[in-house]
Structure 1
């Protein structure tokens, strides 16, 4: 397997990544009015997990395309 160059542009223009990143605004608003307890960490953890999944989905697109070509 060869190492591929990471292209930042494909992450910055992907609608899934943009949507997940934009979710930080609503997450911040939601947690601002919440009591300061463990539930706040759960909300932020869910947002982080969504962002990671969106980024991983973009990263796997090239592998999916290679697999489909075989």
Structure 2
């Protein structure tokens, strides 16, 4: 992890094509801008966590049904 101190207008460059700029600071809030290619997905942390949890939950029932099918196939043999 890298921790940096930046002032308004200062940038952080990630790779060759992502630029994060501090746009404004008001009290405890910091507004940033992110310039990146459209094919790179950018999510707020809480949204990303919710998507990951939903994806993980969606996989579990499929795994169980696959196991049930395998068990049924093994019994028929």
Greater Rg, structure 1 or structure 2?
2
Higher relative contact order (CA 8 A, sep 6+): 1
Select the structure that is richer in helix.
1
Select the structure that is richer in strand.
2
**TM-score, normalised with respect to structure 1:** 0.39
